[in-house]
Amino acid sequence: MSKGFLNDLVLANHILVNEGVLDGFGHISVRDPNHPDQFFIARSMPPALVDLEDLVTCNLEGEVIAPNGVKTYVERFIHSEIYRARPEVHSVVHSHSPAVIPFGVTKARLRPICHMSGFLGAQVPVYEIRHDIGESSDLLIRSQELGRSLAKTLGHSAVALMRGHGSVTVGHSIKQAVFRAIYAENSARLQLEASRLGEINFLTEAEAQATSDMNDQHLDRPWQMWKERVQKKH
Amino acid sequence: MSKGFLNDLVLANHILVNEGVLDGFGHISVRDPNHPDQFFIARSMPPALVDLEDLVTCNLEGEVIAPNGVKTYVERFIHSEIYRARPEVHSVVHSHSPAVIPFGVTKARLRPICHMSGFLGAQVPVYEIRHDIGESSDLLIRSQELGRSLAKTLGHSAVALMRGHGSVTVGHSIKQAVFRAIYAENSARLQLEASRLGEINFLTEAEAQATSDMNDQHLDRPWQMWKERVQKKH
Amino acid sequence: MSKGFLNDLVLANHILVNEGVLDGFGHISVRDPNHPDQFFIARSMPPALVDLEDLVTCNLEGEVIAPNGVKTYVERFIHSEIYRARPEVHSVVHSHSPAVIPFGVTKARLRPICHMSGFLGAQVPVYEIRHDIGESSDLLIRSQELGRSLAKTLGHSAVALMRGHGSVTVGHSIKQAVFRAIYAENSARLQLEASRLGEINFLTEAEAQATSDMNDQHLDRPWQMWKERVQKKH
Amino acid sequence: MSKGFLNDLVLANHILVNEGVLDGFGHISVRDPNHPDQFFIARSMPPALVDLEDLVTCNLEGEVIAPNGVKTYVERFIHSEIYRARPEVHSVVHSHSPAVIPFGVTKARLRPICHMSGFLGAQVPVYEIRHDIGESSDLLIRSQELGRSLAKTLGHSAVALMRGHGSVTVGHSIKQAVFRAIYAENSARLQLEASRLGEINFLTEAEAQATSDMNDQHLDRPWQMWKERVQKKH
């Protein structure tokens, strides 16, 4: 089996930091194509520093099954429960990307403002952890139950916000998940800016679908650029 | 025939990325001075990575005529139809530069706020693709018909916005088109900021014309700086 | 005695500049673990250029006790009086970090908007120097008396703003103080952006406490990334 | 005579670009200490590329007196007329720094928001060229008359805005003029951000004076950092 996708997972960690989606926190995983009930993710560490030997294998209970005794992120249940609920999803990003956060803590909804953000769909759902465990949690997805509830809020969407915390983005592939995580942040910034100027003329649902389908045919183009940028720095 | 302008076209691709106008998407073209019914543009690829051997020649039907079998961008009709409609235009930039997009999706119009943005004229027209092909398109200029309609909206202006998509900027030369694309973005950012503070005192139409004429005499000055910046990175 | 913490103090100076918290001004100190009534801080100089030999030892009167005759920052009393009032505090940062300043000069209070900013507590107190020395001062904490008054405003908080000036951030360790200084700036920026969109749903006090406790277990993770970033530049 | 100040003038050009005050346009000059009716400025070129051999000497009529036949900026009259009107001024910066421009085109006035911007005084005057030559100019200070009128608007201030154009900043020395140009931009950005949050509590006039005097004793500190930053890039 070719393990090229593990190199892509390492690269995706670096790209997401370099493009401002991840900082010292956040994570990206990829489903194991040969064992769909397993996924790869880094051990608990800053994504900017992840290398091949830092990757671990988890099962859908969120347990590390290899290598022995290595710990991954507390919030691995974000990944395991979305992989369980969404068989077509093969990569998951959890981030605190900054322009997105305001849409989780106000009544304004994140919506597709241009043809690069059609994947946001009609509007982006917001997960409120208080509904599950009350008003004194540390907001982390610390259990399978919370992961399941988040996955339920996500539904069939590409992105869900987490109130006071961040967001989760999913894709059919690493490249699609990275594309969506970066353009969710870009689109949120555009919406913040446009909201200064008055009412916004968003994409229709049909435009959102059509532009999302169109962009799926061009995932390689920005990936090449992001890759080149990150490699210049290393 | 000197092909120095092809080196400038490569450089312009890199400058526009480096100055934040293009990202993984967008394109710039130049009319062939010897065959005014042809133009040069990169094949379908990220502008940051364009080199001399990536350039193709198109005709005004938007067909690649050389090299054989190479594909260019879907939206080549933006370029071909503007070259057809505007004989004095020798370079066209299509971008999704971020500060400009809010002015295409709200009722606020992009207008000249300072002496560097006089080329915007009285105000910048906005192209609405829904008027041509309804409310479920992917917003791309996929045909000669759509290109022609965009060119009609552009009229005699230097810049036209495309609702939910981006903008197109034209010039008598590569340097003028690049100057305008960069300063359209800068000016949009200034207008977004100034709009926080109350009503804006824009340039008069006569001031816009006079400053635009004045800047045309200084196109080389910022070009030298942009060139040096991009070359330091490469 | 290991002096590793002095290397961390030098590194913290560079990290805080690199992450946009300090510029040519501002300072960070660490309490001497062996002499709790003394602390280390750089001599009066730009934090970006601080090296081991630039560190001086001060007592809680704010006097440099070694090396002889070297001067430190005018505002050393910020540090000395907080160390006096707060025995559990082992590191103090004073900065003019930009997103924080608006919350010191308006009626809006800086509050915890997400799980990374729980350390802000219910809301951040604001020190008004006019209450101590009237309306014609240069706003600097030039004396033990002013330092004491600022420490009193700080109370048991992690952060206090200084009207028209900047802020002070404290921690149990250099890493905690740096974490809080960086995330106070990040959180202020998020709050500025979210305030465009309407009323903000802040963390509850219990959420603020729980997330702050949680983050204290992960202080090393972003520190590794900040360290790597700053070392790449040097 | 030591010509160290000419090296500082070259460095100041690079610093002002690197810190975002100048771009491809704008200029800084220094009065000749030995011939107070003369000043040094670069020939007409991008400030990022200025070197010692690019400096020219002008008289207070705005004529280049050496080297023979070299042209400097059209707007040299900004410098010559301010040197004529303000004997204590030894350096002048003209820029289009972006955060400042909104305060020249709206009714909002740029005012000192924190202790780093006390030099702004009570509030910053705005020059309106329409009062001198009507509503169809190219906004440039193309003559001694316009320079004189701008100098009159500046009066005894450190900074004057130019509607729809930019600003001018003066100092007793290159370091003071550079400090003020950079902190005028910083302060404008802070005021733009704070204006989102409600009414701003600005410095009193006495605080502005006291903080300005205080900062004049620390001009070397940020200069060292700006110098190191720019030299790392070259």
What are A131-178's pLDDT values in tens digits?
999 999 999 999 999 999 999 999 999 999 999 999 999 999 999 999
Strand (E) or helix (H) holding A35: strand A35-42
Question: Which of B203, B183, B182 lies closest to B111, judged by CA?
Answer: B203
Task: Say whether pLDDT at C1 is over 60.
Answer: no
**Average of per-residue pLDDT across D177-203:** 97
pLDDT of residue D1: 41
**Average of per-residue pLDDT across D172-189:** 98
Report CA torsion sign: C117, C118, C121, C123: positive
pLDDT of residue D224: 96
Task: Dig out the tokens for B126 from the structure.
Answer: 């906005």
Among D53, D61, D63, D75, the active-site one is D75
C-alpha A51/C-alpha B141 separation (Å) is 41
Provide, as residue numbers in chain D, all residues whose Cβ is less than 8 Å from the Cβ of C96. Answer: 114, 116
pLDDT of residue A232: 86
> B166 and A207 in contact by Cβ < 8 A?
no
C114-139 pLDDT, tens digit each = 999 999 998 899 999 999 999 999 99
Average per-residue pLDDT in chain A? Answer: 97
C-alpha B159/C-alpha B93 separation (Å) is 9
C23-53 pLDDT, tens digit each = 999 999 999 999 999 999 999 999 999 999 9
Report yes or no: C187 at the A interface, CB cutoff 8 Å. no
Report yes or no: C103 at the D interface, CB cutoff 8 Å. yes
Task: Say whether pLDDT at B176 is over 90.
Answer: yes
D111-139 pLDDT, tens digit each = 999 999 999 998 899 999 999 999 999 99
Cα of first residue to Cα of last residue in chain A, in angstroms, is: 28
**Average of per-residue pLDDT across A111-119:** 98
> C106 and D224 in contact by Cβ < 8 A?
no
A196-231 pLDDT, tens digit each = 999 999 999 999 999 999 999 999 999 999 999 999
Average per-residue pLDDT in chain D? Answer: 97
Among D25, D96, D138, beta carbon nearest to B221: D25
Q: Please give the share of chain C, as a percent, with pLDDT higher than 90.
A: 96
Provide, as residue numbers in chain B, all residues whose Cβ is less than 8 Å from the Cβ of D24. Answer: 221-226
Among A19, A61, A75, A199, the active-site one is A75
Provide, as residue numbers in chain C, all residues whose Cβ is less than 8 Å from the Cβ of A106. Answer: 194, 197-201
Cβ atoms within 10 A of the Cβ of D220, count? Answer: 13
C-alpha A41/C-alpha A34 separation (Å) is 15
B106-122 pLDDT, tens digit each = 999 999 999 999 999 98
β-pair type (C91-95, C126-127): unpaired
Among B115, B189, B201, beta carbon nearest to D139: B115
Locate the chain B residue with the closest alpha carbon to D134: B207
> A139 and C115 in contact by Cβ < 8 A?
yes
D16-43 pLDDT, tens digit each = 999 999 999 999 999 999 999 999 999 9
D167: three-class secondary structure by DSSP: strand
Q: Which long-range contacts (CB under 8 A, 24 or more apart) does A203-207 make?
A: A203/A111, A203/A112, A203/A113, A203/A114, A203/A115, A203/A117, A203/A118, A203/B139, A203/B164, A204/B135, A204/B136, A205/A121, A205/A122, A206/B135, A206/B136, A207/A112, A207/A115, A207/A118, A207/B135, A207/B136, A207/B137, A207/B138, A207/B139, A207/B164
Residue C63 falls in the annotated catalytic set: no
D205-231 pLDDT, tens digit each = 999 999 999 999 999 999 999 999 999
Report yes or no: A43 at the C interface, CB cutoff 8 Å. no
> A190 and B102 in contact by Cβ < 8 A?
yes
